[in-house]
Structures are given as C-alpha cells and as structure tokens.
Amino acid sequence: METKFLSVKEAVENGILQEINRLLLHRMGLAICVEVEKNEDGSLRDEDSAILKIIDDRLDSEGFYFEWGTEERLLAAQEKADKFQKIQNAKQGTRLSRLGYDTQPIK
C-alpha cells in the first residue's frame, strides 16, 4: 500500500491543524505553525510544500489560545472544528469494532 500524504492546505481547511493545536498542544505552550514560501506577488510558491514547525513557549503559564476577534473568525473556527469532528467520527465506529478502542491504549 502506497503511503499518501495530506496537503497542508487540506489540514488547515479541514480544521486538523487548528484542532491539534486547540485540543492538545496549546495547553502545554506548544503550537504547530505552517511556514510556506511565497512568490514576490504574495502567492504561494507551491501549496503542497510547506514546513510545519512547533513553536515552544512552555514557560508561559497560560500556554497559547486563539483570539477569535470577530464573529466571522469565530464562525470559521467553529466550521473547522465541525469538519474535524466529522473526520474523527467517521473512523470511530470502525476502530471500536475492529480494534476494540478508538484511542490506542499504551499496553
């Protein structure tokens, strides 16, 4: 089976990056960010190639949090969270029936 890779664009649009940050990393003072190369006109040089970096601010007592700012940004974030939840839910039943768990236990 050939390994497939998720594009950074899809990871952002489907809320995967947002939710990994929001649900897991932010509380620890960590955040995944995307670094992309841009052309002189500001357009993306290659939308499939980007570098993911982890910002480390673990010494900050609060960690990171999103500042939604506007109703539009809040609604966009909720839409991404909903997309992410649908992706999770689509696999949950199969994982439970075939593997006996959703989140893999360490044992």
The pLDDT tens digits of the residues spanning 12-63 come to 999 999 999 999 999 999 999 998 877 788 777 776 678 889 999 999 999 9
Average pLDDT over residues 83-88: 96
* Number of structural domains in the chain: 1
| Average pLDDT value over all residues in the chain | 91
Q: Which residues contact 73 (CB under 8 A, 6 or more apart)?
A: none
| In-domain check, residue 76 | yes
* pLDDT at res. 45: 73
| In-domain check, residue 106 | no
| In-domain check, residue 32 | yes
| In-domain check, residue 49 | yes
DSSP 3-state of 61: coil
Residues 81, 19: contact at Cβ < 8 Å? Answer: yes
| In-domain check, residue 61 | yes
Q: In residues, how long is the chain?
A: 107
| In-domain check, residue 23 | yes
* pLDDT at res. 48: 66
Nearest CA to 18 out of 78, 63, 61, 69 is that of 78
| In-domain check, residue 105 | no
Domain span holding position 13 = 8-99
- Label residue 11 by pLDDT band (50, 70, 90): very high
3-state SS, 28-61, equals HCEEEEEECCECCCCCECCCCCCEEEEEECCCCC
